[in-house]
Structure 1
């Protein structure tokens, strides 16, 4: 895909530094720099940015795959649209990914939370039992164990990874170069970028709706991927349609 650009190189280096730091600091790094659910006491405002550079320390596959995709598509996109637009695309897709995933967590959190409020519990009491893992079973008169479990899961969720931002870059690539043939490992037949990205989007949509991942892992933030891809698609579609320098998109 050509020579690696300076911006992509810097992003790769920052991600690797964060990953090495997380291996060194362990859980303390995730407590500080992963993105926690906003009602969780571990949430800090800077996590909105730092979570994009954190990756799971349980397996090297998470960061290796993300950095490989950033290398494959990032430099090509930066050469095509320039450094400023590339950075805007990357971070706006990352923020879009975060917002959609948080919306999903709030969707799981709110029903049981509202049931506790209606049962007469204060916000402080609810947060207290979420932190301790214990609650008064009388609240089950107003909600279900499944709903309470969903609330616990949302409250203790944390987001890490550059996947959402990279999904935006890949979606933008498909808008800019829709008919460019791409090759996948183990598949000898080239696939046009627009079809490959559409398939990727459908798989994540399936995982987000059903909760069943075709990738094998169970902790994938599918809605974050979708959010990043949607922002990347819309942003690139708008730029391509309204570019003042029409020759740049030929």
Structure 2
């Protein structure tokens, strides 16, 4: 039975940052391009950049920036898109698009700063309502730490409620990426800007030298020379000099 080539529906997903356009027939991938689907801010007419992927009957737009929940956008679907049996979309379509979410707030990571080197993992952030209303703040968050900025390999995922900071332990040395988002009743706001940080263990040079260095020459007990020399069995790092203390013992 023949089906007329056309659009079945348009679906938005704020969490995935996508727009999916479903057609009645499978799409010819060569006929779908960035010129075929154009998204813009309804108020400012600014074009929102996106990547395009075709899978059978669906064209998916992967937006390169986070859309704002509740904001009005315009999606233009140009004529000329073809099915795999050469049916052509004969007319263009202009559709108003809204990304819906119960969470109308964003998260800004305050600490660490980007590319910061950390010995202790103390993360701090703030939640900001996109409409300026404090009653829309949810005070519940999901924090993710990964080894790469695509977050395919999440090494730590933590829910935080009623506070905007957390301390985390037991993470190996290396480079990591952090992101946080607000969440409520299974609904999510957009992810924060991804922050890169480096974990390094703090070095305790004083204790290291106390355990390893041996004094092989020192002033004779009972003498009070105008100056004296200590000789160690190994060369010493001048950085530890402030930690060497000589005390006079009362007799």
* TM-score, normalised via structure 2 length: 0.21
The higher radius of gyration belongs to: 2
Query: Which structure has greater helix proportion?
Result: 1
Greater relative contact order (CA < 8 Å, ≥ 6 in sequence): 1
* TM-score, normalised via structure 1 length: 0.21
Query: Which structure has greater strand proportion?
Result: 2
